[in-house]
Amino acid sequence: MSNQRLARGAGIFLLLLLLAGCAAAPPERVREGEALLARGDWAGAARAFDEALRDGRATALDRRRAQVGEARAFLLKGDLVGARTRLRRLDEDVSDRWYLLGTIALREGDLAEAEACLRGALERAHGGDTAALLARVLAGEARAPDPLDAAAGVVEVRAAPLAEALRAAAAAWRDAVAGREPAALLERLAAIEDRVGGYPAVRVLRARLLDRAGRPDEAGPLWEHAGLSPTPSEGFRAWASDLRARLAMETGDAAALDLALAGADPVTAARVRADLARGRARRGDLRGALDAWRQAAGTSGAPASAVAEALAEAAWLEEVLGLPSSPDAWARAQQVALAAPGAARASPLASRPRATRSPARGWTRRGSGRPARSSPARSPPSSRGATTRRGGWRAPCASWTPAARRRGRSTRRARP
């Protein structure tokens, strides 16, 4: 009887060992998860890594590989919050933690966080494309050549060919500003296209050179950042639009300017149009200035204050030029100004006083920088001593009214 019990116990023990052997060991589950990642099965990979982490037999190395793999699975399926949460559970000496956190920051557009994390990964000797990603963060949206040189200094130990390309791009940028031949500079950029050609800053430099070389059709997509992933930041896009417009203004190419401002944000477009109008007025081209102010006023989505200023300037120029549409222009300027923030102290009628004009006497305006005909300076009676600058407008000064003057005299008499 006792022998039968012993045999039965041994059989149960062997069965338990067999069942235990059927369960996959943690290293096998980790390898399974990595294989699922390679096949694009993010959900299956996350389950495999989670099972490995729950297994009490997992070693420290198994757990680290499973934690990194699980975070990658969440990142690849687009769950950035879940990926970040799992990465922060890793020890700080794990380079994958910093590399993947930097990747998440890049996707979210947080360049400062991405730089800090990728620097941490590089300091912990993380390989792969860490140096390339860090260089792109440091110099990808550069607005001058110096950041390209700085990025080259950071990555030259880990990525010497990339550092060489960054320095070559910086040198080409400086030569472009100096006015060197665009054809030769375009050839130099083509030689480093495989390393830095996807940088938004280098693409803008190439577009600038193509415009100078008379190839605007090739420059257009580069100015508009077509095909770039991730999309450049809003600030860089505004800077590039402003640069494109100002370069067109320098060359006097009206068609190129219209094309540049068509893709610019409303604030940039209105500001550039206003600068163009002021420049034309200083040169004595009043009708050109009037046209630019009208275009600035018609910029869709521009701030109400900018539209009100443009309308008031256009109304003033129409009156000076003797155009019959000036009464309507003043009314529109007043209406927009009153609807803008700070309307109580920003009236275009106070800031742009109407001027009388006759062919014999001419016209002039104080403080505007506009050309005046040779005649004695005359200011409208309503503006003498009654206006002061506030922001972009000349608002009525509260201290010049008779009541305010009486209060001021009584206050001075009461002083000891």
Report how far residue 304's alpha carbon sits from residue 291's, in angstroms, rounded to the nearest whole number: 19
Average pLDDT for consecutive 10-residue bins of the chain (416 residues)?
52 43 68 90 91 87 92 93 93 94 92 93 91 94 95 93 96 94 95 94 94 90 86 88 82 72 77 83 85 82 82 83 68 67 47 42 41 38 35 38 44 42
Which two three-digit tokens encode residue 89?
Answer: 């559970």
Q: Which pLDDT value is given to residue 407?
A: 45
Q: Which pLDDT value is given to residue 188?
A: 96
Q: Which pLDDT value is given to residue 328?
A: 63
Contacting residues for 334 by C-beta, under 8 A, at least 6 apart? 347, 348, 349
Answer whether 87's CB lies under 8 Å from 102's CB.
no
Q: Which pLDDT value is given to residue 64?
A: 92
Q: What is the DSSP string of 36-61?
A: HHHHT-HHHHHHHHHHHHH-TT--HH
Q: Which pLDDT value is given to residue 302?
A: 82
Answer whether 348's CB lies under 8 Å from 315's CB.
yes
Distances (CA, A) of 392 to 15, 117, 308, 352, 396: 88, 43, 10, 11, 13
pTM reported for the whole predicted model:
0.63
